Amino acid sequence: MQRLGLLLFVALIAVIPLLPGLSVFWITLLDNIGLAALVAMGLVLLTGVGGLTSFGQAAFCGFGAYTSAVLTTKFGFNPWAALPVALAVTGLAAVVLGLVTVRLSGHFLPLGTIAWGISLYYLFGKIELLGRHDGISGVPPLSLFGWSLIEPQAVYYVIWGFVVLAAILTTNLLDSRAGRAIRALRGGRVAAEAFGIEPARVKLIVFVYAALLAGLSGWLYAHVQRAVNPTPFGINAGIEYLFMAVVGGAGQIWGAVVGASLVILLKDALQRIVPALFGTAAQYETIVFGVLLVAILQGARDGLWPRIVALFPKGAPAPVDRDAAPLPGRQKAKAEPLLAVTAARKTFGGLVAVNDVSFQVKRGEIVALIGPNGAGKSTTFNLITGVLPITAGDVVFAGRPIGGERPQAIAGLGIARSFQHVKLLPEMSVLDNVALGAHLRGQAGVMRGLFRLDRAEETRLIGEAARQIARVGLADHMHKPAGSLALGQQRIVEIARALCLDPDLLLLDEPAAGLRHLEKAALSELLRHLRSQGVSVLLVEHDMGFVMNLTDHIVVLDFGTKIAEGPPAAIKQNPAVLAAYLGAPE
């Protein structure tokens, strides 16, 4: 389906300039749409998929355009020879700016992009070599096999050729191990890190990728316009590109083309119609443009592309090879006990959330951590998985101290977890969510993803995810968006994702919450089966029936302190536990 759509698009692009009566004006407009679509496509990945809002993207067009303009006018470079240099300069600038920017969070990130978007605009206008505010003129046009592409019709095919190429590569990237890591950024740092993803690194990758697309657009722009000056690379243009990505459908690759078309055609139409209606004295077109864009976003919050897709029949999901060769298993830890928590302490200011707690989890054992609300159970999980730094005490896993380790390193050692508040990507399919759990068992990076050289590994990775989904009993829901499942089922999806890591120890935070009776029984069965295969489980759970019937050992916390531990039968009778739960006198 996707391939057919692409072929139709390419055919459409190929015949448009051949349409009789289509003036140069329209072709020029289409050229501009193609140039903008390249930048917007980068923003789709950066903002729509990765959740990093950038207002400064036009500045990267400037790096591409100015580099090529200088090289071709002052150093006699052929434009094509200048392309790799233009991309290298843009990429380098993106690495430098990205290293600072991607570490910002919340509203500081877009503010940061605005700050460097404005500064770079003024910088371009101040540098002598770049012709200050007048810019550089006399930039040569592109040529191909000795044929000068000076006419808008001629360069049209080059521009749209690059748009199609960028769309194919970006689609490939999103449909890969690296793409899942990019999408995981939206699910928050904690969930991504729990499966070995390095958010800062992934953010930098997507930041540079988006900048390179903008740099490519800038390079093309320089040789289409044959002149460059700072104006098209300022913050206004940056805002417009962001509009295109959002209106088209942030997160949707083809939304970039739709958004660029809409914004450019709308601006052009308004520039012609509004002055004719209201006169040229007041520039009402900008106001009307703004109002219309806001109205479109109100009507289609997810942008236009999802609306367009909904008009066509849905294609079948890509086939999944459940018999694909298994991924290499992780080296299993042999030390006993598997996990030893000794005098673990965590304070938040004056509050002692975990108060010198000690317990062990042996190989092939199911241990429950129970206690009233606020007892410190989730905090203990966060100490074991490295989400929170430990204040004092030790956590030793498989004979190795992991107290100060980062979550990614701890996941790599074989500890996988689920979360009290489900951390799935609701729009992503169950299959893709679960495949994220196998991130550390794959190797393919961005380059292999871009050029589809990762297919063998990807088939095995997806096959593994499908097997784990079937194992937890959700095979029928594999292709549904994770957010469409009931909350209890989403918790089970998290277990499948954790199993994809091939863990030695599973940490499950309230796995039975929201499950129906039969589903709880199936979950117990699954955990028993895992135990029989040597996987250890540490779980936090409020459902006492579930805990008493399943676990080998129970650790009870109250106000951060361990008040009891032992087998279920003993815990049931323990007066301190009864008091903590029922408020009964000891």
Ligand X SMILES: Nc1ncnc2c1ncn2[C@@H]1O[C@H](COP(=O)(O)OP(=O)(O)OP(=O)(O)O)[C@@H](O)[C@H]1O
Interface residues with ligand X (CB under 6 A)? 348, 351, 353, 371, 373-379, 420
Q: How far is the CB of 348 from ligand X (least distance, A)?
A: 3
- Closest to ligand X by CB, 72 or 382: 382
Q: How far is the CB of 199 from ligand X (least distance, A)?
A: 19
Phi, psi of 77 (to 5 degrees): -70, 145
- Closest to ligand X by CB, 273 or 351: 351
> Letter for the amino acid at 178?
A
DSSP state of 337: S
Q: How many CA atoms lie within 13 A of 54 on its CB side?
A: 35
- Closest to ligand X by CB, 173 or 357: 357
Q: How far is the CB of 559 from ligand X (least distance, A)?
A: 8
Please list the residues that pair with 342 across neighbouring strands. Answer: 394
Q: How far is the CB of 290 from ligand X (least distance, A)?
A: 41
DSSP state of 484: G
- Closest to ligand X by CB, 121 or 381: 381
97: nearest Cα among 204, 209, 238, 14:
204
Phi, psi of 348 (to 5 degrees): -115, 100
Cα 24 to its chain centre, rounded Å, is: 40
- Closest to ligand X by CB, 377 or 423: 377
DSSP state of 469: H
Q: How far is the CB of 191 from ligand X (least distance, A)?
A: 16
Burial 220-237 (b: 16+ CB within 10 A, else e): bbbbbbbbbbbebbbbeb
Phi, psi of 338 (to 5 degrees): -65, -45
> Letter for the amino acid at 469?
I
Cα–Cα dist 258/36, whole Å: 11
Q: How far is the CB of 392 from ligand X (least distance, A)?
A: 16
- Closest to ligand X by CB, 261 or 378: 378
Q: How far is the CB of 560 from ligand X (least distance, A)?
A: 6
- Closest to ligand X by CB, 240 or 558: 558
Q: How far is the CB of 561 from ligand X (least distance, A)?
A: 11
Cα–Cα dist 169/44, whole Å: 13
- Closest to ligand X by CB, 265 or 352: 352
Q: How far is the CB of 508 from ligand X (least distance, A)?
A: 13
Q: How far is the CB of 407 from ligand X (least distance, A)?
A: 15
Residues near 22 by beta carbon (within 8 Å), at least 6 away in sequence: 16
- Closest to ligand X by CB, 16 or 544: 544
- Closest to ligand X by CB, 83 or 388: 388
- Closest to ligand X by CB, 358 or 420: 420
Phi, psi of 322 (to 5 degrees): -70, -15
Q: How far is the CB of 391 from ligand X (least distance, A)?
A: 12
- Closest to ligand X by CB, 22 or 392: 392
DSSP-assigned letters across all residues of 265-290: HHHHHHHHHHHHHH-SSS-HHHHHHH
Q: How far is the CB of 381 from ligand X (least distance, A)?
A: 8
Q: How far is the CB of 173 from ligand X (least distance, A)?
A: 35
What is the pairing mode between strands 536-540 and 505-509? parallel
Q: How many CB atoms lie within 10 A of CB 443?
A: 9
CA–CA–CA angle 505, 508, 511 (5° rounding): 145
Q: What are the C-alpha distances in Å from 208 to residues 90, 101, 336, 448?
A: 8, 11, 45, 17
- Decide: 428 and 195 in contact? Cβ < 8 Å: no
What is the pairing mode between strands 339-348 and 351-361? antiparallel
CA–CA–CA angle 576, 579, 585 (5° rounding): 105
Q: How far is the CB of 376 from ligand X (least distance, A)?
A: 4
- Closest to ligand X by CB, 373 or 533: 373
Helix (H) or strand (E) holding 158, with range, is helix 152-174
The 3-state DSSP class for residue 104 equals coil
DSSP state of 141: P
DSSP-assigned letters across all residues of 410-466: HHHHTEEE--SS----TTSBHHHHHHGGGGGG----HHHHHTTTTHHHHHHHHHHHH
> Letter for the amino acid at 255?
G
- Closest to ligand X by CB, 58 or 353: 353
